[in-house]
C-alpha cells in the first residue's frame, strides 16, 4: 500500500468513527450525504481500474433530476404498481442512471425514469429524504440518447415506434447507418425496419450499407 493510500485509510477510519458519535448524527442529512459522496469518490480514485460505474454510486438531490424528453419506455399501470410495492417492501434495490449537465447543475435521466417518478411522487419512500442513489455519467447528447436505447432494449421494454423516432434523432445529428448499428447493437435489418416504420427513407439513405437494402 502506498503512503497516499495509507493516509486515505487513516483519514477514512477517523471520519467513519464520527458516524458513531452523537454530535455527527445531530448534523443534517445534507452533511451526511456530502460525506458519503466524497468517500465513494475517493475510494474510486484509489481502487485499481477499471472500476465500473455501478461501484461509484452517488446520492443525487431529487430536485436536481429531470426526465429526458424522449423516454421510450412505457410502463402499464399494473407493472407500475408492482414497482411501487417492491420499493415499499424492499427499498430501492436498483439505482437510476443519470447524465450530468454541468452548466445547469442538473442530472438528466438515462435509465430508471419510473423508479425516479415513484420516489419523487412518494417522498415517504425515499430512504434518504430528498436524495436518490444514482450512477452518474457525463456524455454528449447523442451518446446519452443511445445509452437510453441500449438500457431499455436490453430489458426488452422498448416500444418499436418510439425507438424508431430516437434513431431518427440520431440520424439528424449526423450518425451513419453503420454507427447506429455499432452503437445500439442493432443489425442492418433492424435499422431497415426503423426506416419502414417511420416512412422516412431519406433519413437512412447514406452510403455505408445502403446497397445491401437494394
Residue 118 sits in the same domain as residue 170: no
Strands (E), the chain: 58-61, 65-66, 96-101, 106-111, 131-137
Residue 4 sits in the same domain as residue 15: yes
Residue 85 sits in the same domain as residue 108: yes
Q: How far apart are CA 147 and CA 154, in angstroms?
A: 11
Q: How far apart are CA 85 and CA 125, in angstroms?
A: 10
Measure CA 79 to chain center.
Answer: 20
**What does the DSSP assignment read for 35-91?**
HHHHHHHHHHHHSPSPPPGGGG-EEEEGGGEE--TT--B---HHHHHHHHHHHHHH-
CATH number of the CATH domain containing 91: 3.90.1530.10
Pairing, β 65-66 against β 58-61: unpaired
Does residue 178 lie within any of the structural domains?
yes
The reported pLDDT for the residue numbered 33 is 92
C-alpha cell at 92: 430501492
Q: How far is CA 182 from CA 90, 140, 166, 188, 203, in A?
A: 37, 17, 15, 10, 18
Residue 44 sits in the same domain as residue 122: no
Residue 58 sits in the same domain as residue 130: yes
In b/e form, how buried is each residue of 142-159, taking b as 16+ CB within 10 angstroms? bebbbbbbbbbbeeeebe
What's the chain's average pLDDT?
Answer: 76
Half-sphere exposure of 68 (CA within 13 A, CB side): 26
Residue 174: which region, alpha, beta or left (left: phi > 0; alpha: psi -120 to 50)? left
Model pLDDT for residues 168-197, shown as the tens digit of each residue: 777 787 888 888 787 777 777 777 776 676
Model pLDDT for residues 91-141, shown as the tens digit of each residue: 999 999 999 987 778 999 988 888 999 999 999 999 999 999 999 998 887
The reported pLDDT for the residue numbered 204 is 61
Does residue 94 lie within any of the structural domains?
yes
Looking at the structure of the chain, the number of domains it has is 3
Residue 40 sits in the same domain as residue 56: no
Residue 45 sits in the same domain as residue 62: no
Does residue 197 lie within any of the structural domains?
yes
C-alpha cell at 95: 439505482
Residue 64 sits in the same domain as residue 87: yes
Comparing 84-88, 136-140, 171-175, 206-210, the range with the smallest average pLDDT is: 206-210
Residue 181 sits in the same domain as residue 200: yes
Residue 85 sits in the same domain as residue 102: yes
Does residue 77 lie within any of the structural domains?
yes
Does residue 22 lie within any of the structural domains?
yes
Does residue 62 lie within any of the structural domains?
yes
Does residue 148 lie within any of the structural domains?
no
Residue 132 sits in the same domain as residue 73: yes
Residue 62 sits in the same domain as residue 135: yes
* Residue 102 lies in domain: 52-139
Q: Could you tell me the pTM of the whole model?
A: 0.65
Amino acid at each position: 500500500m502506498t503512503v497516499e493510500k495509507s493516509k486515505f485509510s487513516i483519514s477514512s477510519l477517523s471520519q467513519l468513527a464520527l458516524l458513531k458519535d452523537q454530535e455527527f448524527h445531530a448534523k443534517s442529512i445534507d452533511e451526511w450525504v456530502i460525506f458519503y459522496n466524497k468517500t465513494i469518490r475517493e475510494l474510486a480514485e484509489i481502487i485499481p481500474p477499471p472500476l465500473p460505474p455501478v461501484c461509484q454510486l452517488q446520492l443525487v438531490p431529487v430536485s436536481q433530476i429531470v426526465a429526458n424528453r424522449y423516454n421510450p419506455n412505457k410502463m402499464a399501470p399494473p407493472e407500475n404498481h408492482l414497482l411501487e410495492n417492491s420499493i415499499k417492501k424492499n427499498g430501492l434495490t436498483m439505482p437510476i442512471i443519470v447524465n450530468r449537465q454541468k452548466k445547469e447543475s442538473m442530472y438528466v435521466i438515462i435509465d430508471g425514469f419510473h423508479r425516479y417518478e415513484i420516489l419523487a411522487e412518494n417522498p415517504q419512500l425515499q430512504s434518504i429524504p430528498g436524495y436518490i442513489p444514482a450512477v452518474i455519467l457525463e456524455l454528449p447528447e447523442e451518446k446519452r440518447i443511445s445509452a437510453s436505447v441500449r438500457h431499455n432494449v436490453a430489458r426488452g421494454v422498448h416500444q418499436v415506434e418510439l425507438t424508431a423516432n430516437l434513431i431518427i434523432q440520431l440520424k439528424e445529428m449526423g450518425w451513419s447507418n453503420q454507427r447506429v448499428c455499432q452503437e445500439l447493437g442493432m443489425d442492418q435489418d433492424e435499422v431497415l425496419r426503423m426506416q419502414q416504420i417511420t416512412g422516412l427513407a431519406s433519413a437512412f439513405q447514406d452510403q455505408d450499407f445502403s446497397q445491401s437494402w437494394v
